[in-house]
Amino acid sequence: MGTFELQELMKPQLLHAASVHFPIVLALLGIPLLYVAAVSSTEKNTLLWMAFACYALLTVSGFLAARAGFQAAEHVPSNVAPDVSATLHRHEEMAEKVWMFGLGITILILLGFIKIKLFRVIIMILAMLGSIALGGWVATTAHFGGMLVYKYGVGTPSIAKQEKETHPPNIIQESPGTSPTNDALIPLREIDPKAAQEVSYKRDIKPLFERFCVDCHGNDSPKGGISLTSVASMKLSGRKSGPGIVPGKPDESSIVRYVRGELLPRMPKGGPALSENDLHVIRCWIFAGAIDDTVSSPSSPEIGNPVGTSEGKK
């Protein structure tokens, strides 16, 4: 049983650890390759093809490594220290963009095959600048990833043990498709109607969603078919689970149910769960009618934050 558990935990981590070296190596290899391809004769395109293959592979492997990473991140306990979860979030945010970056350079290289002198020169300069920027980007991403593993022990048996100690039943319970994946539901706190009135969308809610949700739930092709950029868009239904917010009824609002872990995958997907306090603030705001105060902002003086969000903490 013990070894089985460990295997289950290690799997996505191992996959990520193995796959993540491809984009790193390719991003570094691509820089000199592209340079040589750019300065060599325009007649022979072999080098340009090699550069193309390099960045195409980088795009694919970057995408796969990030996916394995997001899966691995679901096994990271949600109660890790704030600096660990901030590093994880940063690492994920950056890693997610590597493949897009790679794709951009791949497309530039393809355009480089077009033999119009000046156009080609400009394209190759852009591709080279892009490749250097991507090299730096990947190195920084890898640095955060390295910190997670070697400094904080994320993805190693030590952190798995940590989770076991804090939530004894959950790891063993884990079975595909059924109960919540990484941990228990975020507990609900009782809403004080008066305090709930004090929550401001503009001050408390919008920054929270911008920080944790809008990367995936922005305006163009939002995940799950729901954009979290405005109160109006959150009142619309997502792909599967009805309206994001039902004013007055926090616990029927899909946003609350996903954040809480009642509906899966827990949001923010792949990242650490929101704090009990953040969830409470969201619920209070919905309870009080999900008022949008971005348009006609109330003239009440800033009394500080009555319920408190984690916004201030970093």
φ, ψ of residue 243 to 5 degrees: the values are -60, 145
If the CB atoms of residues 261 and 270 are measured against ligand HEC, the closer one turns out to be 270
Residue nearest to ligand HEC (CB): 238
Q: Among candidates 270, 233, 275, 272, which has minimal Cα distance to 254?
A: 233
**Are the C-beta atoms of 186 and 276 separated by less than 8 Å?**
yes
Smallest gap, in angstroms, from Cβ of residue 295 to ligand HEC? 22
181 in contact with ligand HEC (CB under 6 A): no
Smallest gap, in angstroms, from Cβ of residue 287 to ligand HEC? 16
269 in contact with ligand HEC (CB under 6 A): yes
Give the one residue of 5, 8, 215, 311 binding ligand HEC; rule: CB under 6 A: 215
Stretch that binds ligand HEC, among 3-11, 113-121, 136-144, 261-269 (CB under 6 A): 261-269
Q: Among candidates 193, 20, 160, which has minimal Cα distance to 94?
A: 20
| The two three-digit tokens of residue 256, written as one number | 């609350």
Give the one residue of 152, 212, 285, 287 binding ligand HEC; rule: CB under 6 A: 212
Q: Tell me how far apart the alpha carbons of residues 75 and 183 are, in angstroms, rounded to a whole number.
A: 9
**Are the C-beta atoms of 61 and 16 separated by less than 8 Å?**
no
If the CB atoms of residues 145 and 271 are measured against ligand HEC, the closer one turns out to be 271
Q: Tell me how far apart the alpha carbons of residues 289 and 42 are, in angstroms, rounded to a whole number.
A: 65
- Number of chain positions touching ligand HEC (CB under 6 A): 26
List C-alpha distances in Å: 85 to 43, 171, 220: 51, 20, 27
Q: Tell me how far apart the alpha carbons of residues 62 and 19 are, in angstroms, rounded to a whole number.
A: 8
267 in contact with ligand HEC (CB under 6 A): yes
If the CB atoms of residues 135 and 218 are measured against ligand HEC, the closer one turns out to be 218
Smallest gap, in angstroms, from Cβ of residue 14 to ligand HEC? 22
272 in contact with ligand HEC (CB under 6 A): no
* Contacting ligand HEC within 240-259 (CB under 6 A): 240-241, 244, 254-255, 258-259
Smallest gap, in angstroms, from Cβ of residue 264 to ligand HEC? 8
List C-alpha distances in Å: 48 to 38, 57, 62, 115, 127: 8, 14, 20, 13, 11
Smallest gap, in angstroms, from Cβ of residue 147 to ligand HEC? 20
**Residue 243, helix vs strand vs coil:** strand
285 in contact with ligand HEC (CB under 6 A): no
Q: Tell me how far apart the alpha carbons of residues 38 and 34 are, in angstroms, rounded to a whole number.
A: 6
Contacting residues toward ligand HEC, per CB under 6 A: 212-213, 215-217, 223-226, 228, 238-241, 244, 254-255, 258-259, 265, 267-271, 274
